[in-house]
């Protein structure tokens, strides 16, 4: 097994072990909700009722068509879907009255223009009373909790905003101009139908957990009407009307009693419990031990005491001297000595260069006895720059096709040796002749031995 393969094996083992730990940790605590277990492990629906006070004024300020603003009764019901521990969608239906008057010592509000209805013309308004119904869909966001560090939330602060439809019937009283000054007249919508306008509710609140299924709500909502006739008077047109609603209410969680409410989830406490689980901690400790063992094994595998490039675990010849050329087993490679040069008619040339190279039966592996001839041939080719053709041959055993391939492999073995010794591969040409062109009788073993060869052709 080489180092790369070992690294891949170690990585796969660690990944598999971590997956097993995660599965075991989940199986060991199935009844308990998990941080990333999904909303299906919680109750997410709730219903509530509320009652409170309405007023034409807002805590954040703003103009009003009347100086005196009265407090009246409001009420409502709600249905909420919790989508996350800090976010939900809520449907509200509310009703009630919003009243206002001109204020103490004020003879009446002067209209922007005379108000005509049911044959009555009003120029001064004394009071307004609007009964209303309102339906809206809002986003509710839990922004803080004072019990977060106590592991289980029991007080949540929230913001809400949305949009809906308000239906209302303004009822105004004032001084009319029907011939008698100072008389009181009352005006309602001509056909008695409700006016319908877009409403934008924006609010804040705090919720107290009374039990696993019951909560107490305290809230305040400012409602902005897309019209200037909620109080029946268009005194400062095109300004638009508004009203506020402060309330107290009860809310009940719907669903199975065996599931907690998603709204009261404390993810930090849940994550702490998961990490503190004893079985999981033991698995993590075991995993760390196994990883340490693997790291030690890798370090041992990489250890090379004699610096020959072969790890100690695979080094069959330890403590080789520095600079020694070794093979894959860490043992020194003994190269054959160069053949001495002899004098020829054309100068000095290596002895036995270009002699035929013999091979064993059905083999293309070079014999060590061929190294001197190959080294001498390589030296001459490198010195002279000559080109050479390597002709491969085989004896007649086996099929002609097999022998042709075998002869080519023998010629390529010789070429590889010459190229590795420094001969330019472009100056070497390989040809395969198979069992053709024998130099001895293939019917005898002696002849077949001679035919298993590679010949040089300059």
Average of per-residue pLDDT across 124-130: 74
pLDDT in the model for residue 180: 41
**pLDDT tier at 85 (50, 70, 90 boundaries)?**
confident
3-state secondary structure of 348: strand
pLDDT in the model for residue 122: 57
CATH number, domain at 162?
A: 2.40.160.20
pLDDT in the model for residue 430: 94
Same domain, 357 and 262: no
Same domain, 378 and 264: no
Total number of residues shown for the chain? 458
Contact status, residue 429 vs residue 390, Cβ threshold 8 Å? yes
Contact status, residue 165 vs residue 199, Cβ threshold 8 Å? yes
Average of per-residue pLDDT across 234-240: 69
CA–centroid distance for 298 within its chain: 31
Q: Does the residue 296 lie in any domain?
A: no
pLDDT in the model for residue 278: 67
Q: Does the residue 38 lie in any domain?
A: yes
3-state secondary structure of 170: strand
pLDDT in the model for residue 151: 64
Q: How many domains, the chain?
A: 2
How far apart (Å, rounded) are the C-alpha atoms in residues 269 and 346? 95
Q: Which of 255, 273, 291 is the last residue of a domain?
A: 273
pLDDT in the model for residue 402: 93
Average of per-residue pLDDT across 55-81: 88
Q: Does the residue 320 lie in any domain?
A: no
Terminal alpha carbon distance of the chain: 44
Total Cβ atoms within 10 A of residue 448 = 19
What would the pLDDT profile of 362-380 be if each residue is shown by its tens digit? 899 998 888 999 999 999 9
With a cut of 70, say whether residue 185 has pLDDT above it.
Answer: no
Query: Strand 347-350 relative to strand 357-358: parallel, antiparallel, unpaired?
Result: unpaired
**pLDDT tier at 295 (50, 70, 90 boundaries)?**
confident
> Which distant-in-sequence residues (6+ apart) come within 8 Å of 269 by Cβ?
151, 152
Structure-model confidence comparison of residues 16 and 230, the more confident one: 230
**pLDDT tier at 20 (50, 70, 90 boundaries)?**
very low
**pLDDT tier at 24 (50, 70, 90 boundaries)?**
very low
> Which distant-in-sequence residues (6+ apart) come within 8 Å of 191 by Cβ?
none
How far apart (Å, rounded) are the C-alpha atoms in residues 151 and 272? 10
pLDDT in the model for residue 181: 44
Average of per-residue pLDDT across 21-46: 62
Same domain, 253 and 361: no
C-alpha closest to that of 294 among 1, 70, 2, 6: 6
Q: Does the residue 304 lie in any domain?
A: no
Q: Write down the pTM of the prediction.
A: 0.51
Same domain, 351 and 260: no
C-alpha closest to that of 140 among 230, 201, 56: 201
Show the tokens assigned to 279.
């079985």
With a cut of 80, say whether residue 59 has pLDDT above it.
Answer: yes
Same domain, 268 and 345: no
Contact status, residue 61 vs residue 131, Cβ threshold 8 Å? no
Per DSSP, 226 falls in state S
Structure-model confidence comparison of residues 300 and 196, the more confident one: 196
Most confident of the following: 31-40, 62-71, 232-241, 432-441? 432-441
pLDDT in the model for residue 338: 45
Q: Does the residue 156 lie in any domain?
A: yes
Domain housing 43: 30-273
pLDDT in the model for residue 307: 79
Q: Does the residue 288 lie in any domain?
A: no
Average of per-residue pLDDT across 393-405: 91
pLDDT in the model for residue 62: 80
Same domain, 371 and 265: no
Same domain, 119 and 213: yes
Lowest mean pLDDT among 327-331, 427-431, 442-446: 327-331
pLDDT in the model for residue 280: 67
Same domain, 243 and 348: no
């Amino acid at each position: 097994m080489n180092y790369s393969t070992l690294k891949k094996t170690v990585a796969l083992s660690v990944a598999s072990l971590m997956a097993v730990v995660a599965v075991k940790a989940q199986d060991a605590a199935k009844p308990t909700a998990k941080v990333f277990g999904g909303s299906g492990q919680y109750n997410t629906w709730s219903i509530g009722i509320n009652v409170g006070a309405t007023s034409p004024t807002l805590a954040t300020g703003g103009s009003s068509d009347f100086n005196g603003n009265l407090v009246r009764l409001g009420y409502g019901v709600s249905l909420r879907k919790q989508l996350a521990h800090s976010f939900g969608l809520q449907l509200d239906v509310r009703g009630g009255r919003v009243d206002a008057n001109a204020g103490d010592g004020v003879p009446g509000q002067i209209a922007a223009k005379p108000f005509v209805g049911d044959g009555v013309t009003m120029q001064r308004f004394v009071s307004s009373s609007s009964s209303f119904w309102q339906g809206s869909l809002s986003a509710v966001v839990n922004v803080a909790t004072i019990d977060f560090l106590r592991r289980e939330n029991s007080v949540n602060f929230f913001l809400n905003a949305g949009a809906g439809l308000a239906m209302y019937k303004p009822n105004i009283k004032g001084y009319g101009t029907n011939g008698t000054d100072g008389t009181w007249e009352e005006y309602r919508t001509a056909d008695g139908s409700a006016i319908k306008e877009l409403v934008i509710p924006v609010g804040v609140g705090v919720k107290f957990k009374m039990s696993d299924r019951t909560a107490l709500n305290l809230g305040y909502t400012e409602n902005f009407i897309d019209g200037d006739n909620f109080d029946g008077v268009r005194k400062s047109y095109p300004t638009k009307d508004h009203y506020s609603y402060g309330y107290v209410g009860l809310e009940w969680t719907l669903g199975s009693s065996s599931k907690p409410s998603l709204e009261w989830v404390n993810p930090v406490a849940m994550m702490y419990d998961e990490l503190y689980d004893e079985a999981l901690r033991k698995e993590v400790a075991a995993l760390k031990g196994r990883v340490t063992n693997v790291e030690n094994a890798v370090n041992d595998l990489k250890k090379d005491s004699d610096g020959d490039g072969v790890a100690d675990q695979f080094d069959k010849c330890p403590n080789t001297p520095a600079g020694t050329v070794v093979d894959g087993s860490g043992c020194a490679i003994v190269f054959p000595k160069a053949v001495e040069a002899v004098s020829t008619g054309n100068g000095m040339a290596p002895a036995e260069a270009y002699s035929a190279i013999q091979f064993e039966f059905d083999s293309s592996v070079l014999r060590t006895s061929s190294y001197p001839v190959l080294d001498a041939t390589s030296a001459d080719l490198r010195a002279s720059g000559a080109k050479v053709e390597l002709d491969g041959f085989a004896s007649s055993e086996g099929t002609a096709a097999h022998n042709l391939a075998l002869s080519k492999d023998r010629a390529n073995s010789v070429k590889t040796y010459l190229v590795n010794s420094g001969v330019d591969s472009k100056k070497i040409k390989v040809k395969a002749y198979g069992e053709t062109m024998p130099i001895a009788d293939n019917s005898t073993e002696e002849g077949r031995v001679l035919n298993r060869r590679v010949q040089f052709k300059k």
